[in-house]
Structures are given as structure tokens and as C-alpha cells.
């Protein structure tokens, strides 16, 4: 998800175009709702090269539908689509080499024009044309699949809108809030260990609509394949702020022996001593959130930590990070055993899909038999399978229904502005 564009997808056509139209309206409305209350300046500024302005996210997700659906004359016979502004193709392309040149990513914050109101008008223009397409009686299965991909792509950007706006507001000394606090304090459950005997398991999305009810998956989740796992145990829940506080107070950020070489170099270079957004105020830790500065809740999951930090914490705790294969197997078995309390070894794995993405020890690489899809929409998986690590689960910013056990998120090991945490594992 560090990418700006979507990967190719394995998706089954929905049963009726009207159902797809309703989903289209709901997803598109959610993006606009997030931007409500933001000023044009809030939506324009870019806080770092890894982030994008809210206005750009709103326009780029619209550009996807305009370029890959409305721009194809064959999608709606007898009607020719007229672009809202042909210049927008250059402004709001992301990484699609096949789609033509684009504005440099680090300079997106310089796009003071079009204004936020103009971007919203652009969305309305494209949505009107998309409605005509969606209600057409003879949509080809490939067109339905591409629309579905576009909606999941927009949901990815909705999550990025949360993380990018938080990073932007964290740079403001006023520490502005985008919403009211909504978290309800709760005590963390004791950490238990769920044991797995190992063996041969099948992971990945089967890519077969008949066996999955038509559930969507990105192509990097396929093909399904068998893996052989040694016996292992995985924690029943994710690591908390209180446990991370112990790591800090024990000098974890000062112990070179806990860190990978690149991680230790990053700690020294960046001066890390706590998770991103944490601040000491009168001797108490606070953290920047979309609700402004809030006291750190020791029972809440730790978030905004990098792979380097997660790996060092696991080593400090005498454990390790799970592989993505172990995580998926445990998540699937936990789903099957939901509600079981027969023994500690059979308790369900908590927090499978949130509130934080969970780092794994696995590099982001292709599954056996993976093939990059043809065309522009195939650009966004294969070429990113280098130097990044897989995260599993989902976060508080993940749209409802978007997470699944096979979902493979991925970021570079130093990145921590996403809602990233960790779950521990060990060999058995």
C-alpha cells in the first residue's frame, strides 16, 4: 500500500449492476465525507514525500475511473465521454508508466490549483458518467471487475488519507484535531500463546469465485499455494503501549545488540527514542491522533512503529515476529475456532483485523506462480516486490469489509507513519 495505484485484481463479477452502483456510491461518498471540515489549505499541503495531499487523493481516485473506464470507448457503446479537464491526466496519474507522464510525487503539495472545490466538482462530473456506465444493462465481466478494483483502490486511498492527514497535522504546533475522540478505554487482556503443531497448510487467495463467494483479492494474494510450517506459537493479541513503555524505560532504543544494522543506523540518524507522534508532557506520554494530542493509553495497541522497531522489540522480549505464512494460518484457524474456550491453545486470536497493521518477518515477494497482469493496472505489484516487508490484518483506518486474512500490505522497514504495530511469535 505504499504505492499510489492499485495492483491488478482477482475479482468475480457482482450479480447485478445495481448492487455495484450502490457500492460505488457508498465508497465514493466515504472519501468526500472524510474531507468535510478541511480547509483548502488542509487539503493542499504535503507534509513529506511519502505522503500526498488529501486533495490529490480525491482527484487521483477519480482519475482512475476516468482513465481506465470512461476513457475506453468500448465501455459504453453510443456515448462518448468528455474529460472534465484533459490537463488533470498529468496532475493525478501516480506511477502508471503506461498511462503517460505525471507530476513528480514530491511536488504534489505545490498544486494550489485546482482548488478543493474544483476537485470535488471533478468527482461529481466523473461520478455522473460512471452512473451511466454502471446502470448499463450489458456490462462486460472485465468491466465489472475493473470497477470493483477501482473501488478497492479508493478504499486503499481512504486509509492513506487518514495517515497522511495525521502526519500533516502532527507538524502543526497547534496540534489540530480532525475529529472527536472515539476510543473507549479498556483493559488489555492477558497475553496468551496459541500453539500450532506445524505441518502443511494452504495459504493465499484461491482466485476462484465459485469457492469464495466472489470475494475480491489483489493479485499479489494469489495464487494459493501450500507451505510447510514448523511448530510455532503466536500471541493472542498485539503488543500494547504499556509493554512498549517498558521497552523504552529498559533502554531498548539504546541497546545496539537488539537492532538490525540498518535499523540501528536509522535510530542513530533519526534520533528515535519512542514511537512516532509520542511526546513527553510534564513527565507523561501523549500521542498525536486525528483527535489531537491524547494521553497514551497503556492498554491500547502500540502503533506508528517501524519494522526495525518491531523487530528490536521482539528480540528484547525474547520472541520474534511471525512470518506472514504463520500469521495467515493462525488467523484462518482462529476464525474457524471463534468462540472456542476449550483450552489456551484453542482460544481465538484477538485483533486479527485491527486496530493496527501487524509487521511480519516476511519480505514482500511474489508467491510461487505469480504472474504480473497485462496492461497499466498490472504495474503495481511485481515492480514493488523488493526491499519491503509484509504487514497483515488491518487498522483503525481500514474501511469496513476491506480487510481479509489473505491481504498483504507492505511498507519499507523504516516507515512508521502508518497505523503499524506488532504481534509476537516464537518457535515451539
Q: What is the pLDDT along the chain (428 residues), one digit of tens a residue?
A: 544 444 455 544 434 445 899 999 999 999 999 999 999 999 999 999 999 999 999 999 999 999 999 986 445 556 789 999 999 999 999 988 888 999 999 999 999 999 999 999 999 999 999 999 998 768 888 889 899 999 999 999 999 999 999 999 999 999 999 998 876 667 899 999 999 999 999 999 987 543 334 588 999 999 999 999 999 999 999 999 999 999 999 999 999 999 999 999 999 999 999 999 999 999 999 999 999 999 999 999 999 999 999 999 999 999 999 999 999 999 999 876 433 333 444 448 899 998 999 999 999 999 999 988 777 777 767 788 999 999 999 999 999 989 999 999 999 999 999 999 999 999 99
Quick one: which H or E segment has residue 425?
A: strand 425-427
- For domain 181-428, the question of CATH label 3.90.1580.10 is answered with yes
Q: Are 381 and 372 in contact (CB under 8 A)?
A: yes
C-alpha cell at position 272: 528515535
pLDDT of residue 345: 44
pLDDT of residue 341: 34
Q: Which residues contact 261 (CB under 8 A, 6 or more apart)?
A: none
pLDDT of residue 78: 62
Within 10 A of 215 (CB to CB), how many other CB atoms are there? 15
Quick one: which H or E segment has residue 390?
A: strand 389-392
**In this structure, what DSSP letter does residue 174 have?**
T
pLDDT of residue 380: 66
pLDDT of residue 59: 98
pLDDT of residue 210: 35
pLDDT of residue 111: 97
pLDDT of residue 137: 66
C-alpha cell at position 97: 508508466
Domain boundaries, given as residue ranges, for the chain: 9-170, 181-428
Within 10 A of 271 (CB to CB), how many other CB atoms are there? 8
Q: How many CA atoms lie within 13 A of 331 on its CB side?
A: 25
Secondary structure (3-state) at 380: coil
Peptide bond into 344 cis (omega under 30): no
DSSP per residue, 110-169: G---S-HHHHHHHHHHHHHHHHHHHT-TT--HHHHHHHHHHHHHHHHHHHHHHHHHHHHH
For the four alpha carbons of 90, 95, 101 and 102, in that order, the dihedral sign comes to positive
Burial class (CB in 10 A: 0-12, 13-18, 19+), 185: exposed
- How far apart, in Å, do the first and last CA atoms of the chain sit? 32
Do the domains spanning 9-170 and 181-428 agree at the CATH topology level? no
Secondary structure (3-state) at 321: coil
- For domain 9-170, the question of CATH label 1.10.10 is answered with no
Cα separation, 55 vs 34, in Å, equals 11
The backbone region for 102, taken as left when phi is positive above 0, alpha when psi lies in -120 to 50, beta otherwise, is beta
Q: Are 399 and 390 in contact (CB under 8 A)?
A: no
Residue 427 sits at φ, ψ, to 5 deg, of: -80, 150
Cα separation, 258 vs 311, in Å, equals 8
Question: How far from the centroid of its chain's Cα atoms is residue 250's Cα?
Answer: 31
C-alpha cell at position 392: 497483515
C-alpha cell at position 229: 510450517
pLDDT of residue 76: 58
pLDDT of residue 338: 39
Residue with the three cell numbers 470507448: 73
- pTM here is 0.92
Q: Which residues contact 365 (CB under 8 A, 6 or more apart)?
A: 385
pLDDT of residue 183: 61
Q: Are 421 and 302 in contact (CB under 8 A)?
A: yes
- Nearest partner of 274 among 308, 232, 307, 309, judged by Cα: 309
- Nearest partner of 149 among 25, 1, 10, 30, judged by Cα: 10
Q: Are 396 and 419 in contact (CB under 8 A)?
A: yes
In angstroms, the Cα distances linking 320 to 258, 266, 305, 323 are 11, 20, 15, 9
Amino acid at each position: 500500500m505504499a504505492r499510489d495505484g492499485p495492483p491488478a485484481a482477482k475479482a468475480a463479477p457482482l450479480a447485478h449492476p445495481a448492487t455495484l452502483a450502490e457500492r460505488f456510491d457508498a465508497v465514493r461518498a466515504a472519501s468526500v465525507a472524510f474531507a468535510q471540515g478541511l480547509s483548502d489549505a488542509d487539503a493542499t499541503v504535503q507534509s513529506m514525500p511519502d505522503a500526498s495531499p488529501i486533495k490529490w487523493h480525491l482527484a487521483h481516485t477519480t482519475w482512475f475511473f476516468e482513465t481506465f473506464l470512461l476513457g475506453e470507448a468500448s465501455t459504453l457503446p453510443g456515448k462518448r465521454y468528455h474529460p472534465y479537464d484533459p490537463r488533470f491526466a498529468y496532475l493525478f496519474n501516480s506511477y502508471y508508466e503506461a498511462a503517460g507522464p505525471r507530476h513528480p510525487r514530491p511536488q504534489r503539495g505545490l498544486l494550489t490549483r485546482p482548488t478543493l472545490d474544483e476537485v470535488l466538482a471533478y468527482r461529481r462530473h466523473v461520478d455522473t458518467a460512471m452512473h451511466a456506465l454502471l446502470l448499463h444493462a450489458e456490462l462486460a465481466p472485465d468491466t465489472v471487475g475493473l470497477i470493483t478494483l477501482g473501488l478497492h483502490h479508493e478504499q486503499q486511498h481512504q486509509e492513506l488519507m487518514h495517515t497522511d492527514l495525521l502526519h500533516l497535522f502532527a507538524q502543526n504546533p497547534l496540534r489540530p484535531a480532525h475529529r472527536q475522540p472515539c476510543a473507549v478505554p479498556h483493559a488489555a487482556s492477558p497475553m496468551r500463546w496459541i500453539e500450532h503443531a506445524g505441518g502443511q497448510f494452504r495459504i493465499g487467495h484461491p482466485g476462484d469465485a465459485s469457492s469464495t463467494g466472489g470475494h475480491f483479492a489483489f493479485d499479489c494474494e494469489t495464487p494459493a499455494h501450500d507451505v510447510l510450517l514448523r511448530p510455532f506459537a503466536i500471541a493472542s493479541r498485539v503488543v500494547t503501549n504499556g509493554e512498549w513503555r517498558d521497552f523504552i524505560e529498559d533502554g531498548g532504543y539504546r541497546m545496539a545488540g537488539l537492532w538490525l544494522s540498518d535499523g540501528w543506523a536509522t535510530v542513530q540518524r533519526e534520533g528515535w527514542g519512542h514511537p512516532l507522534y509520542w511526546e513527553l508532557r510534564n513527565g507523561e506520554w501523549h500521542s498525536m491522533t486525528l483527535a489531537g494530542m491524547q494521553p497514551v493509553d497503556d492498554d491500547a495497541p502500540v502503533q506508528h512503529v517501524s519494522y526495525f522497531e518491531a523487530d528490536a522489540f521482539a528480540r528484547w522480549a525474547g520472541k520474534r515476529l511471525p512470518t506472514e505464512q504463520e500469521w495467515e494460518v493462525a488467523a484462518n484457524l482462529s476464525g474457524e475456532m471463534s468462540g472456542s474456550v476449550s483450552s489456551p491453545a484453542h482460544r481465538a486470536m484477538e485483533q486479527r483485523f485491527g486496530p493496527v497493521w501487524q509487521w511480519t518477518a516476511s519480505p514482500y515477494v511474489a508467491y510461487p506462480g505469480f504472474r504480473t497482469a497485462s496492461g497499466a493496472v498490472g504495474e503495481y505489484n511485481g515492480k514493488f516486490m523488493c526491499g519491503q516487508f509484509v504487514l497483515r490484518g488491518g487498522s483503525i483506518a481500514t474501511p469496513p469489509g476491506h480487510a481479509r486474512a489473505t491481504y498483504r500490505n507492505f511498507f519499507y522497514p523504516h516507515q512508521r507513519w502508518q497505523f503499524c504495530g506488532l504481534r509476537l511469535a516464537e518457535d515451539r
